[in-house]
Amino acid sequence: MYQETDRHRLFTRRALVLGAGQLGMFGLLVGRLWQLQVGEGEKYALLAEDNRVNTKLIVPARGRILDRRGRPLARNVPAYRVRVVRERTPDLGRTLRALADLVPISPRRLEEVEEQAHNLRPFVPVPIRDDLSWEEVARIAVHAPELPGILLDQALLRDYPYGPVLAHVLGYVGPVNDRELQADRDPLLSLPEFRIGKKGIEKSYDKRLRGRAGLSKVEVNALGREIRELDRDEGDPGEDLQISLDLDLQRFCFDRLAQEKAAAAAVLDVQTGAVLASVSIPSFDPRPFANGLSSAAWKELSHDPLFPLVNKCIRGQYPPGSTFKMMTALAALEKGVIDPGHEVFCSGVFTLGNARFHCWKAGGHGRLALVQGIAQSCDIYFYDVALRVGVDAIAAMARRFGLGDRLGVDLPGERPGLIPTRAWKRERLGQPWQKGETVVTGIGQGFVLATPLQLAVMTARLCNGLKMVRPWYVRPVGADGQPEEWPRIELPRDGLRAVLRGMYEVVNGARGTARRAKLPLEGIALAGKTGTSQVKRITRAERASGAHKRKDRPWEERDHALFVCFAPFDAPRYAVAVVVEHGGSGSRAAAPVARDIMTRTLEINPAGAALLAARDLPPKG
């Protein structure tokens, strides 16, 4: 009986322990279920949703680029594209080759598509071409049964309706490379169809033009295949950008300069700094760059000796020649080493020690003062003035007028030119400065280099009341949202008036070097300065024989021709700079081009039309 009671107690105790354990386990299970379903329910619901729903970025429409009158210069146009889905074709390579028999696709592009298709999931469409014509679309559609896995659809393609006319200013867009992907963490750049600004305005203002990405939520299965779209946000298109160029003037300048082998021209509003036209010859068509230029096409453009890819307005660096003489004169006038009445006798030769420096006019100009020294572009006059004032003073003056440093224009790739000083030569070449180098610097030769845009800015600052305007394509504004105010250059007014008068006499004087540049507009006078810069040193024998003036010299050995000008003389509004590479004489090759450009500028721009109306001249549309 006693043993039976003990066994019963032991069994009861064990049953209670086991029951308590089971109850505890059940409590833990209930608690965990409550935590998962109530406490963390939202978290796991989101994770489940992420497994079921994928979010994709949608490329927004790129903003347009408009001219000063609102006309589109760069836009987006609907285009047909062809893509391939690897899982839908039994033989990807064979399908791609069959497609290439119908529409032009390079062998390299076929290799890239095949490699990309094998790196992605088999159901992901891979782009092949984005610029199909309607005839090519029809050809593919007719042969669709023979092209398993090939898809046709529509996309937006960047278009430049005026092609080479604006290529150097607008630039172009192209596929994103690895360096750009590392530098910019915007998720848009990871999309194969996204295009980024590579050159010009497209690059400078890329983030304003690209817009905000849209989002598409799609339901997918366990393998990641899309089932249906659940929600869609198209995002925001890029900002439309209005630039300073006038399309009509740009086209006129391009057509006028296209008659030359290589040239550049810039037109500025001297009061605001707006670039109204900017042309570089030869040019290129920016449209093929959108889908990546073929290696053969790139090699042809990049190895062209005339450098069609280079924007010569901001990257071409040329000796300014006699267009620089106003800087030498102003430096001497400010230092007080000459006054406007300072006279020099030009015999045609200037001697410095054992060296002989020649004037462009073999017989010399005789005795002349500053105004006629500029009007007749007498080299001897400016040799004398340069030695009196010194190279460092000349350099300081030139820099105040925008030479020798980047202007900060809102295009990528601007080059600074070069204005030498004593310190520069010692630092760069480890040599002392020589007096003979001061002589040639005074006429814009030697080490001196300037871009066409810099020469246009120099001219604008000379004639606009000495306002230090800077060139721009998109209007700069200050912190208060107002247009930028330009500081002024302080100079003796009598000296400046003499320099400007000399530029007037260049075109309108009886002995001016650019009399053929007179405007065909009654009552409006043009003022300017010719320049002819040597690219090959003239030997004594060549000078004696006259070989340096022969027109049958190789093109690349001929002098550069330059001309800078402004108008109207009595109320300056526009400045023009023209450089014709190896064009010979500035008066013959560059001045007539600048005259025609200035005439057209006055005829078609509102401010110019108002000036013509004030003189009772009919404006032209």
DSSP string for residues in 88-113 = G-S-HHHHHHHHHHHS---HHHHHHH
- Same domain for 237 and 251: no
- Same domain for 208 and 108: yes
Q: Is residue 42 in some structural domain?
A: no
Domain span holding position 119: 56-242
Highest mean pLDDT among 184-198, 220-234, 279-293 belongs to 279-293
Tokens of 217: 């939520």
Instruction: Assess whether 322 carries a catalytic annotation.
Output: yes
Amino acid of residue 323:
T
Whichever domain contains 560, its CATH number is 3.40.710.10
- Same domain for 404 and 450: yes
Whichever domain contains 88, its CATH number is 3.90.1310.10
Q: Does position 305 have pLDDT exceeding 90, yes or no?
A: yes
Catalytic residue among 244, 278, 322, 585: 322
pLDDT of amino acid 226:
59
Tokens of 219: 């339901």
Q: Does position 504 have pLDDT exceeding 50, yes or no?
A: yes
Residues 6+ apart with CB under 8 A from 33: none
Region 172-178: mean pLDDT is 87
Q: Is residue 36 in some structural domain?
A: no
- Same domain for 333 and 453: yes
- Output the pTM of the full model: 0.83
Q: Is residue 24 in some structural domain?
A: no
Q: Give CA–CA dist 319/454, Å, rounded.
A: 12
pLDDT of amino acid 452:
98
466-490 burial string, b = 16+ CB within 10 Å, else e? bbbbbbbbbeeeeeeeeeeebeebe
Q: Does position 18 have pLDDT exceeding 80, yes or no?
A: no
Closest CA to 195 of 150, 130, 241: 130
Please write down the HEC assignment for all residues of 165-230. HCHHHHCCEEECCHHHHHHCCCHHHHCCCCEEECCHHHHHCHHHHHCECEEEEEEECCCCCEEEEE
Region 131-156: mean pLDDT is 88
- Same domain for 266 and 228: no
* Per-residue pLDDT band at 47 (split at 50, 70, 90): very low
- Same domain for 167 and 268: no
Q: Give CA–CA dist 11/292, Å, rounded.
A: 85
Number of domains in the chain: 2
| Cis ω before 305 (30° cut-off from 0) | no
Residue 564 φ/ψ, nearest 5 degrees? -120, 145
CA gyration radius for the chain? 36
- Same domain for 207 and 157: yes
DSSP 349: E
Reduced to 3 states (helix: H, G, I; strand: E, B; else coil), residue 47 is helix
Q: Does position 77 have pLDDT exceeding 60, yes or no?
A: yes
- Same domain for 557 and 415: yes
More confident residue, 486 or 394: 394
Q: Give CA–CA dist 238/97, Å, rounded.
A: 37
Region 230-243: mean pLDDT is 83
* Per-residue pLDDT band at 225 (split at 50, 70, 90): low
pLDDT of amino acid 46:
45
Q: List, for residues 418-459, the tens digit of each pLDDT value.
A: 999 999 999 999 999 999 999 999 999 999 999 999 999 999
- Same domain for 285 and 197: no
- Same domain for 232 and 281: no
DSSP 477: B
Q: Are 409 and 469 in contact (CB under 8 A)?
A: no
**Final residue before a domain boundary, out of 242, 268, 286:** 242
Q: Is residue 199 in some structural domain?
A: yes
Q: Does position 391 have pLDDT exceeding 90, yes or no?
A: yes
- Same domain for 256 and 111: no
More confident residue, 318 or 38: 318
Q: Is residue 302 in some structural domain?
A: no
- Per the document, the length of the chain is 621
Q: Give CA–CA dist 42/217, Å, rounded.
A: 19
- Same domain for 276 and 180: no
